[in-house]
């Protein structure tokens, strides 16, 4: 592999072989704000640094990207630190298949940037980052022992970063995996509740989605949820409780869909006396987007709002928990706006997942006011208030909602932590100066 294209287009596992041949166990790319360039830890990897710094789509002056090849199971493990002005970079670790190194790097950078925005918009004193592990097809990831080892290795890697990134659970990672991460590092949240973790975030997440819906109705002068019809895609950990919360608000009817028939039947059985019309659908079925409803709520997977589905929507509000709902963040934000549909950005509506776990180290209080204020109507950073603020600004400036929310989040992300300042950058500088992380 002697040029940038070779490395970028290769499968992560071939890249791992290349790193082994070169004797590289750990490596990094760190941003130099003075020269506005990414510096690589190893000259052989400088072409990748150049790709990263010149990428306008996913790169946004990420402070540092750190990697290791896991010692035992040859898995590429990474920590993408985007911005640490508000505090340590926080965001979960994803365990996923990536066809190429480019896909892997892009996903990490994009997700890390998204966490900066989600955390800043929630008023949390955290920066943004993301962990990403590329699945090694050679290893049996369902094997409990292998998995435990792999996640412990990830935890040890996170320890080597001296606290500039604090990891958490994400797609492909379970609570059990997080306990294995915790055996290798203190820099993690989302650990099991038996060892002091905050437990399942799905119920607070569903409550947060309700707040986003209420704000959108308020903005449109349509009152509250009473008497409304809501369409829900995905009846899982968030979608299921969401149905219950919406019935508590006296909605008229809920239309709900999932690809899992057993789940549809289980959830339906919980609401025998309510007007819940639930059905199993094929994964690629887009007809649900055309359902007659006041609000459409995506709670399944990403990229569901795209040029095929947006023109089908009858609902004038879209508000759900699914991450990365827009297939293309700019194109589809604009399309929703042009269709006169109020899109409540996912990173605003689904913030309670991270809010619930972010401050585990500060302990727990019943009906915790620090959590509950996000769900109240009056706190300036609450989901309700922030949604109203975004919708009003979108209207007054003729600008799509996600763009407005991103601008607001980017501004907030540059406010310095009141006690620790921009310490993450100091930690990264210290890692580079000492070289200890590479050892
Ligand atoms: P989940 O896996 O429990 O539920 C998702 C459900 O969607 C599953 O039941 C699945 O069968 C269904 N589904 C998948 N594809 C579908 C399709 N095409 N049509 C209809 N149903 C489909 O996940 P979850 O924890 O409920 O999370 C839902 C979404 O919200 C995810 O995108 C997740 O990343 C995001 N999110 C969740 C939380 C949380 O606290 N759980 C927090 C923030 C964001």
- Whole-angstrom CA distances from 92 to 108, 131, 133, 172, 349 are 11, 6, 11, 10, 18
- The distance in angstroms from the start CA to the end CA of the chain is 24
pLDDT tens column, 390-418: 999 999 999 999 999 999 999 999 999 99
Say how many Å lie between the CA of residue 320 and the centre of ligand 1: 10
SS3 assignment, position 367:
coil
The atom number, within ligand 1, closest to the CA of 356 reads 40
**Domains of the chain by range and CATH?**
4-200+427-438 (3.40.50.10860), 202-364+379-404 (3.40.50.720)
User: Distance between CA atoms of 231 and 317, rounded to whole angstroms?
Assistant: 10
Whether the CB of 108 sits within 6 Å of ligand 1: no
Q: Is the CB of 258 under 6 A from ligand 1?
A: yes
Looking from the CA of residue 206, the nearest atom of ligand 1 is 40
The answer, yes or no, to whether any atom of ligand 1 lies below 6 A from the CB of 267, is no
Atom of ligand 1 nearest to the CA of 233: 20
Burial class from Cβ neighbours inside 10 Å (0-12, 13-18, 19+) for residue 195 reads: exposed
CA-proximal residue: ligand 1, atom 35 (nearest): 322
CA–CA gap between residue 287 and residue 289 (Å, rounded): 5
Distance 114 CA to ligand 1 centre (A): 18
The model's pTM: 0.94
Q: What is the position in ligand 1's atom list of the atom closest to the CA of 320?
A: 30
H helices of 69-143, where?
101-121
Q: Using an 8 Å Cβ cutoff, are 74 and 421 in contact? A: no
Please tell me if the CB atom of residue 239 comes closer than 6 angstroms to any atom of ligand 1.
yes
- Please choose, from the candidates 10, 3, 6, 1, the residue with its C-alpha nearest in 3D space to the C-alpha of residue 103: 10
Is there an atom of ligand 1 within 6 Å of 175 CB? no
Task: Please give the torsion angle defined by the CA atoms of residues 72, 437, 410 and 355, in that order, rounded to the nearest 10 degrees.
Answer: 60
CA dihedral 348, 307, 295, 282 (to 10 degrees): -110
Contact 151, 92 (CB under 8 A): no
Q: Is 87 in the pocket of ligand 1 (CB under 6 A)?
A: no
401-412 vs 383-397: helix crossing angle, rounded to 10:
120
Segments in 187-260 forming alpha helices (H): 202-219, 239-248
For the beta sheet containing 229-233, the strands, ordered from the edge strand earlier in sequence to the opposite edge, are: 276-280, 253-258, 229-233, 295-298, 317-318, 342-343
Residue 224 CA, distance from chain mean position:
28
Distance 238 CA to ligand 1 centre (A): 7
Q: What is the pLDDT of residue 2?
A: 60
- The answer, yes or no, to whether any atom of ligand 1 lies below 6 A from the CB of 264, is no
Atom 15 of ligand 1, nearest CA residue: 300
Q: Report residue 64 as tokens.
A: 């540092």
> 29 C-alpha to center of ligand 1: Å?
33
Q: Which single residue is written with the structure tokens 């997700």?
A: 111
Enumerate the active-site residues.
130
Written as tens digits, the pLDDT of the chain (439 aa) is 667 778 999 999 999 999 999 999 999 999 999 999 999 999 999 999 999 999 988 999 999 999 999 999 999 999 999 999 999 999 999 999 999 999 999 999 999 999 999 999 999 999 999 999 999 999 998 899 999 999 999 999 999 999 999 999 998 999 899 999 999 999 999 999 999 999 888 999 999 999 999 999 999 999 999 999 999 999 999 999 999 999 999 999 999 999 999 999 999 999 999 999 999 999 999 999 999 999 999 999 999 999 999 999 999 999 999 998 999 999 999 999 999 999 999 999 999 999 999 999 999 999 999 999 999 999 999 999 999 999 999 999 999 999 999 999 999 999 999 999 999 999 999 999 998 778 7
Kindly give the distance from the C-alpha atom of residue 299 to the centroid of ligand 1, in angstroms, as a whole number: 5
- Pocket lining: 309 vs ligand 1, CB cutoff 6 Å: no
24 Cα–ligand 1 center, Å: 37
d(CA 134, CA 10): 13
Q: Which residues contact 25 (CB under 8 A, 6 or more apart)?
A: 19, 68, 69, 71, 438
């Amino acid at each position: 592999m002697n040029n940038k294209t070779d490395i970028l287009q290769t499968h992560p596992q071939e890249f791992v072989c290349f790193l082994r041949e070169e004797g590289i166990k750990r490596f990094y790319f760190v941003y130099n704000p003075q020269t506005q360039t990414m510096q690589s830890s190893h000259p052989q990897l400088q072409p990748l640094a150049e790709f990263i710094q010149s990428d306008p789509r996913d790169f946004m002056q990420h402070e540092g990207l750190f990697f290791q090849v896991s010692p035992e199971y040859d898995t590429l493990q990474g920590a993408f630190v985007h911005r640490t002005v508000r505090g340590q970079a926080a965001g979960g670790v994803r365990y996923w298949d990536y066809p190429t190194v480019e896909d892997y790097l892009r996903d990490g950078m994009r997700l890390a940037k998204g966490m900066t925005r989600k955390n800043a918009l929630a008023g949390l004193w955290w920066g943004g980052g993301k962990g990403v592990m590329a699945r090694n097809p050679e290893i049996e990831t369902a094997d409990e022992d292998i998995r435990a080892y792999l996640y412990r290795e990830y935890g040890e890697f996170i320890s080597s970063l001296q606290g500039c990134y604090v990891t958490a659970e994400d797609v492909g990672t379970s609570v059990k995996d997080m306990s294995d991460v915790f055996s290798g590092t203190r820099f993690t949240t989302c650990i099991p509740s038996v060892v002091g973790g905050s437990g399942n975030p799905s119920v607070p997440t569903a409550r947060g989605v309700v707040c986003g819906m209420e704000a959108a109705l308020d903005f449109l002068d349509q009152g509250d949820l009473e008497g409304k019809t809501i369409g829900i895609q995905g009846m899982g950990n968030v979608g299921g409780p969401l149905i219950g919360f919406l019935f508590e608000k006296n909605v008229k009817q809920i239309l709900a869909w999932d690809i899992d028939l057993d789940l549809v039947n289980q959830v339906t059985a919980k609401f025998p006396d309510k007007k819940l019309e639930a059905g199993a659908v094929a994964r690629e079925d887009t007809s649900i987007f055309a359902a007659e409803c006041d609000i459409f709520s995506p709670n399944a997977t990403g990229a569901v709002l795209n040029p095929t589905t947006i023109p089908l929507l009858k609902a004038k509000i879209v508000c759900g928990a699914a991450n990365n709902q827009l297939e293309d963040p700019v194109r589809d934000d604009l399309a929703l706006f042009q269709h006169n549909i109020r899109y409540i950005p996912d990173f605003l509506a689904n913030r309670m997942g991270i809010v619930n776990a972010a401050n585990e180290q500060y302990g727990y209080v019943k009906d915790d006011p620090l959590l509950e204020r996000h769900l109240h109507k009056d706190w300036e950073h609450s989901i309700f208030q922030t949604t109203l603020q975004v919708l009003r600004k979108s209207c007054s400036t003729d600008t799509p909602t996600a763009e407005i929310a991103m601008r607001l989040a980017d501004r907030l992300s540059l406010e310095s932590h009141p006690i620790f300042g921009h310490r993450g950058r100091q930690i990264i500088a210290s890692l580079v100066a000492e070289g200890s992380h590479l050892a």
